[in-house]
Each structure stands twice: as C-alpha cells, then as structure tokens.
Amino acid sequence: MRVLFVTTEMDDFVRVGGLGAVSAALPRALRPFADIRIMLPGYRDIIEQLTHIQVVGRCPAFAEMPACSLGRAATKDGLPVYVLLCSQLYDRPGNPYGDESGRDWPDNDIRFARFASAAAELAMGTLDKDWAADLIHANDWQASLVPAYLAWRGSKLPSILTIHNLAYQGLFPKDSLRRIGAPESSFHIDGVEFYDQLSFLKAGLVYASHLTTVSGTYAREITTDEFGCGLEGLLRVRSDAAELTGILNGIDESWDPRSCAQLAQQFGAGDWVGKKANADYVRKQFGLAVSRGPMFGIVARLVHQKGIDLVLAAADEIVDAGGQIVVTGSGEPALEQALIDAHRRRPDAIGVVIGFNEAQARRIFAGSDFTLMPSRFEPCGLSQMYAQRFGSLPIGHQTGGLAETITDGETGFLFSKPSHESFLGGVRRAFSAFMAQDQLDTMRRSAMGRSFSWSIPAGSYNALYRKLAAV
C-alpha cells in the first residue's frame, strides 16, 4: 500500500514541536505495512542535510503561487522523502513558520497552500511518473488543504487529517482564497469559511475522508465547547459519523536511560545512584546549589497553553519547601522573560535555559525527580512519556493525553483543574512521595516500566489506512 505522509516538521531535519517527533517515528513504524513516503517543504535546513536530491517533477505557477520543483531523496536509513523546492518560499532564516523574532511570515497562506497543492498532485500521480499514492495522510493546519485540493480537482483519493493541536488553525483573510486558487464556492459555513476568514484547518476537517487526533481523550474533548476552538459543531458531526478517531502517540526506543548516550551516566530502574549522578550534573550545569531536596523539571514550549504561568505562581512555594526548578524551552517572549526574572531572584534554586537542546532535555528528564506539566489542554504530550521512562514522575493536569498516560499515584500525579490551588495540590503530593522513600522507589519503578512503543499506534493507523483505501 502506497501512503504519502505530508508534514512540515521532521526531527531528522527540523523540529518546532511534537509534530517533528511524530513525523520521524510514525512513518518508520509503518514501514513494515506500507510503502510510506514523507513530503516536506524544502526549508534551508532540510536541503543542507539531504544528499542526492533528484528532481522528479515540476509544478507550474498557479493563482498567485510560484512555480516549483519536486525533489526526491532519502533519510540515512532509507525512508523516501520528497521535498518541495522553491527557494523564494522556503529558503529563509528563522523557523518553518516565522522569522527569527517569532513573527509569522506574512505569506504563510501562499507557502503552505503551494505545499498542499503539490502534495495533492504527487499523490494523484501527476508529479513523480514512478509513484502515486493509495492514500494521503496530512498533518495539522499547514497540510490541511491537501484534502481540499484533492476534492477541488475531482480526485476520490482517500485522505486522513491528523489534528495535533486544534488551537493552531491557519486563519487568513478572505482574499487568500484567490491567492491560493481555491474556488469562491468553497467560502461558506459548511466549507472553508470561519468567522469571515479562510481557515486552512477547517478545510481539512470538511474535506478529509477521516480525521484522527493524538489521544482518545482529546478526540472527545474537541467535540465540546470548552476545547473545540469554535469548531466543535463540525467535529461533533464527524465524530457522530464515526469519522474521528483518537490514536495515542508513542515515543521512540531511544528513550531508554540504560542505553541513552547523552546522559551524564546511564542507569536503570533501581539504580538511583546513577540517577543522582544525572541530577548532580544538571545542578552543576544550571548553577544550582547542592541540594537533598527534589528537582522539578520543565521541558516544554513556553506558551500559555502549557501552564507556565501556574509554575511561576507556585515557584516560591516549591523553592521554600526545599525544591529546585530547572527549565528549558522557548516560546512567548513574556513567559521567557518571567522565567529569566525568576532565575535572577533565586539563582541557586531556579535554573533556566531559553532554547531547546535535545541532549540537555534528556539529562533534565534523567536528573529531575518530577516533571511539571500543568497544561491547560494537551492533545497528547510527549514529555510525560519521556519523563516516566527516565524515572521523573510527571505532575500533570487531567486532560488529553496526560489523562491517558499518567496513572495517578502510581506513575505520576494528576490534578483536576488548571488552577493555582489544584496544581499546588499535585506538587504537595509529590513532595510527600519524595519524603517517603519506599513510595518514591515503587512509583519510579512503575513509571520506568511503562512502554509507549510506536508499534500499537502504527497498527491502529495501518488498520485505518486499509479500511479507507479498501486494500
């Protein structure tokens, strides 16, 4: 079965959030079942890292979208990768979505519509003369126009759209319709229109054959007014028609502290001396005081969704009780600055590094006793899975994938509301467990024994692919 996996991030080359990790791991887990190929925009970072890119097709200019070429290459382990080559759209500094100061590129409608249009052409067999798809799997708003372009071109090719985070919708002025060559007739409440704007994500929700999201709990939550971001009515219709499925993400096998090369010292369950060696390393790296108290880690995008403000509000109580906090990530400038200010106030107990370095993230999971995840909503979340494998007990809000992957009181702590008091209740329970060595030991062993293999979600996706394509 031939599957085109369309994404704008892949950890092999470029990563902004969890989509990059999923795009690197899920297609590889699906290789035993399908001829799966990835399509990415030709960002500067990707072009520099791929060798032997063979041009296999060309897309003429369309509406206000420039002409481009399609290149074919492969990862080091042989996974086929298509890249859309268009330097005026993708050869830029900054990240895939915005400039170096974090502002979205003003032509993101053109950038991602051109990408989605080319992906539809490739899947339909008009770009690479040697390959066409039986099914196309698009991810998030940046690829959400793929099912729409298929429909507008009269293709019956089945498509899946995976919603990794409903809050990011790709909204543009109505004028974008003309710029991207979308039919005027699609701009209505049952089409791509969302409060008089063009919504890329809504286009995918309307036109895809099937919708998936990254946990069963989140699949239910997004059909409610609280979590539906204004799209809950449409999502309820798709859910009632059995066209919305929650499939929990996995994590790759490299998240094993017994073999992870980036740690200060490798360790397994029960080897708490090895875990302490990582804690000592992290304290030294972040300039924290020597301490016998617990270390609380945060490895996250520093945005409102992640509840960073709740951590800031609780920081003094955590430190006054003998805890230390270590943070790495980047995001909203105001939250970055607030964390830096907290570090300046308590430099011996609060360590902050703005930016993301995977080796450092792994050492924080390995060295910390607890991982803070007070997310207001969390479609799946990966950090709580990484943390458990490395013996750092997550403290998470009971929502989305956190509710499914943290067993309260056994492998971590769940709290019921994204509020200051509820979050502090979870933190206080963690302090109590830390003081009870037997309980801490038992919980760490349980957490480290969890398996979050990609084999189970890959099997679920394979079954869904075959059902939709009738293969």
Summarised one tens digit per residue, pLDDT across range 297-332 is 999 999 999 999 999 999 999 999 999 999 999 999
Cα gap 441→317, rounded to integer Å: 24
Which pLDDT belongs to residue 15?
81
Mean pLDDT of 105-114: 97
CB 174 within 8 A of CB 196: yes
Mean pLDDT of 40-46: 95
Q: Write the CA distances from 174 to 89, 179, 401, integer angstroms.
A: 21, 10, 34
Q: What is the pTM assigned to this prediction?
A: 0.94
pLDDT digits (tens, 9 = 90+) for 248-299: 999 988 899 999 999 999 999 999 999 999 999 999 999 999 999 999 999 9
